[in-house]
Structure 1
Amino acid sequence: MTIPDWVQDAVFYQIFPDRFANGDTTNDPPNVQPWGAPPTLWEFHGGDLRGVIQKFDYLLDLGITAIYLNPIFQATSVHRYNTTDYYEIDPKLGTFEDFHALIDLAHQNGMRVILDGVFNHCGRGFFAFNDVLENTEHSPYCDWFHIKHLPLDAYGPGKAKNYLAWWSYKSLPKFNTDHAEVRQYLFHVARYWIEQGADGWRLDVPNEIDDDAFWNEFQAVVKTANPEAYLVGEIWDANPRWVSPGHFDGLIHYPLREVLLDFIVDDTIKASTFVDRVEELFKLYPRENVHAHFFPLGSHDTIRLFTACGGDERKVRQAFLFQFCHPGAPVIYYGDEIGMEGQKDPFNRHTFPWDESSWNHALRAYVRKLIALRHHLPQLKSGNLKRLAVDDETRVCAFSRVLDDDSAAVLLNASDSIHQVQLDVSDLGWANGQRILEALGGEEMVVSNGRLEVELEPHGGALLYG
């Protein structure tokens, strides 16, 4: 099975459906919270698929080429990781027709849409679990779950004790994926939504299904339905097992996010340690998987980027610069491009502020420029990664991205001081006297004796290409 080429060219935008845009107030649940009200763990704000459709031009203007939707199937929670019906769009998000309208609009504009697949566990309102609750040992679905003894205690206080559940939450019973009927059901769900037009799956906690045979068959089912479908696994550690043949095209690159923030935000590692770790992560996986990794700076499971950077926009820009110059598909968590802030759930899931007066327009313009540069420069998407320079004293480092005759260099200054860098570019194919453009500020510089002199502002960066 091959990794789809479109992934390394993609710029993803992650949308938490209830909080992005409300395009149809008629499907709002009772007691819906006002748009802009402080987020809570359980209350709904009315976002839906029609909202994504209505704001589609915003995504196009930004340069987005792929959407990742958090769960959209029927569930009782605002996050919808407790699925009750895998074949139904949650009515609070819209209809089957709304789903197809979004897919069609995306595809007409060359954009892909991947869905969030929660196949380790379901919600306790799922039909099979309900049947066990009602019929106990007479239920034909007892073997669909890991039941220790009956009757089930699914609604009392405390953790799940007589059945397995994700993190022992009673509301999230774990599937018995060793059972043939469960596998058949989940594989059919995976194939069904690909056949309905979805372009891939982001797999939630796939390591909880610690079964290579399951994922081998899952991949075969999805890729048979659409060889161009993308499979990305939510694996929080660096583990190449999960991209071995028969597994995922790429992983959510949280380890890279962590080492980046350790360097530019927390100041807990040296420049050389940062460069070493970046190179280790690059070499850990086969090249084709590195370029198919899903690289976010924030998500619904982390604090927001602006908050992680302590409100220092210089560090936010540095993070975005590195993200768009590194192999793997960049992923923007909705609102990070305009400077939204927030600690962990629920505060990282605020409604998108469509009143533009609250936006950080300069930051959005910067991100939009980086997206355009990534689309324009093939070396940023497909080029090899190599260290160019590292200096622990100045906390400056540089990487090159080289693809055939196309070269680029990205520099980061993680210190509080301005630094003049004499950058050796002799391995980049840039001739003496050649004019090189610094893409962020528009300055031109000339190669002399195989070097470029680059001035880096405190917590600043540069992107050079010839």
Structure 2
Amino acid sequence: MSPTKWVGRGKDQLCHEIWQEVRSAVKQENPEAYLVGENWADASSYLQGDQWDGTMNYLGCSRPLRSWMGETDRFLCSGWGHSPEPTTCYTGFELAQALQSQLASIPAQMWYQQFNLLDSHDTPRLHNNTDIFEWDVYSGCVILMYLLPGMPNIYYGDEIGLAGPYGSVEASRYPMQWNKATWDERFLSLYAWLGTLRKEYADLLSTGSWKIVYTDEETFCFARYNGKQALLEYSIEQ
């Protein structure tokens, strides 16, 4: 959604002015408060240091990674993108361009506050798109979500490979499954390992630099580093 749809009517759009005032009031009460907004498209005008701290990062995480998997972008779909058709996968070059353009559009201080995600209450679970799902490519997307500047966010159930229908907003919100016999251990092990990695390299991943090391038609290689350590991740389309 675009925030401008919800603040003001017609020509009288006051969204930026209101968020500037909201930020000022909230930070006076608690300077450590975190303000995150929802915007499926380009939220850079809200991320200049005077409004939001972060956005639900569809543009710079969810949408490009889903395109890397071969899913049609939701903005090119009918029905709000809840039943995306398979399409030609992003190349490594296209993935790099999408990630770089979003990061370049906001101040560097804001990189580390973005709310990175794959799935949400409005987005079908990527792992349940059986038309395109491949474990090796999917796990690479999850790893990259954890390594991108910002904070990785797990939509409940993704950590266990929650099964369920596909094709509507309600299907994005089906209940958590608490019967452990139904859990997919591949997912649980992956997310547990990444949680440990985030703790082990907390300083590096909180403020470290980033670089796209290599791309080609089928490969994307990404690094996080500082003066002492580096983490390197690569994903190859099958």
Give TM-score scaled by structure 1 length. Answer: 0.43
Please name the residue that 2:63 is paired with: 258
* Matches for 1:378-393 after TM superposition, within 5 Å: 378-392=203-217
Change (3 A) 1:308 1:222: farther
Return the letter of the residue paired with 2:162: M
Unaligned stretches of 5+ residues in structure 2: 8-12, 72-87
Q: Amino acid of the residue matched to residue 3 of structure 2?
A: P
**Residue 332 of structure 1 is aligned with which of 140, 154, 157?**
154
Aligned equivalent of 1:363: 187
Tell me how far 1:238 sits from its aligned partner: 1.8
Q: CA deviation at 1:254?
A: 0.3
- Alpha-carbon deviations, 1:201-234, whole Å to 9, x = none? xxx8533224222111111111111111000110
Q: In 2, are the aligned partners of 1:291 and 1:329 still within 8 Å (CA)?
A: yes
* Equivalence map 1:82-161=2 (5 Å): none
Residue 193 of structure 2 is aligned to residue 396 of structure 1: no
Amino acid of the residue matched to residue 32 of structure 2?
A: E
- What residue number does 1:280 align with? 101
User: Is the 1:265–1:315 Cα contact (8 Å) retained in structure 2?
Assistant: no
> 2:235 maps to what in 1?
412
Residues 334 and 352, structure 1, Cα contact 8 Å, conserved in 2: yes
Counterpart check, 1:206 vs 2:3:
yes
Instruction: Name 1:144's counterpart in structure 2.
Output: none
State the secondary structure of the residue aligned to 2:154. strand
Paired residues of 2:158 and 2:187 also in contact (CA < 8 A): no
Deviations 1:228-286 (A, max 9, x none): 10001101112311112321001111012111111133443221111122112121111
Which of 245, 259, 280 is matched with 2:49 structurally? 245
- Mapped to 2, the partners of 1:316 and 1:303 lie a distance apart of 14
2:141 to 319, 344, 355: 319
Q: Deviations over 1:5-50 (max 9, x none)?
A: xxxxxxxxxxxxxxxxxxxxxxxxxxxxxxxxxxxxxxxxxxxxxx
State the alpha-carbon separation in 2 of the partners of residues 286 and 213 from structure 1: 20
CA contact (8 A) 1:279 1:386 kept: no
Give aligned pairs, total: 210
Q: CA deviation at 1:292?
A: 0.5
Instruction: State how far apart, in whole Å, the 2-side matches of 1:213 and 1:353 are.
Output: 42
Q: Identity of paired residues, percent?
A: 24
Q: Does 1:296 align with 2:143?
A: no
CA shift digits 1:312-339 (9 cap, x unpaired) = 3333312211101111111100001111
Relative contact order higher in (CA < 8 Å, ≥ 6 apart)? 2
Measured in 2, the distance between the counterparts of 1:313 and 1:269 equals: 17
1:311 positional shift: 4.1
Q: From the superposition, tell whether residues 274 and 205 of structure 1 become closer, same or farther in structure 2 (CA, over 3 Å).
A: closer
**Which amino acid is 2:229 matched to?**
D
Q: Deviations over 1:62-84 (max 9, x none)?
A: xxxxxxxxxxxxxxxxxxxxxxx
| SS at 2:95 equivalent | helix
**Aligned partners of 1:314, 1:245: CA distance in 2, in Å?**
37
* Equivalent of residue 229 in structure 1, options 33, 46, 49: 33
Deviations 1:94-140 (A, max 9, x none): xxxxxxxxxxxxxxxxxxxxxxxxxxxxxxxxxxxxxxxxxxxxxxx
Letter in 2 for 1:367: Y
Post-superposition offset of 1:382: 2.0
Amino acid at match of 1:316: Y
d(CA) in 2 for partners of 1:315, 1:406: 25
> Could you say what the CA RMSD is over the residues aligned between the two structures, in angstroms?
1.8
Output the amino acid matched with 1:412. S
- Answer yes or no: is the 8 Å Cα contact 1:305–1:336 preserved in 2: no
Report the Cα offset of residue 381 of structure 1. Answer: 2.9
Task: Return the letter of the residue paired with 1:279.
Answer: Q
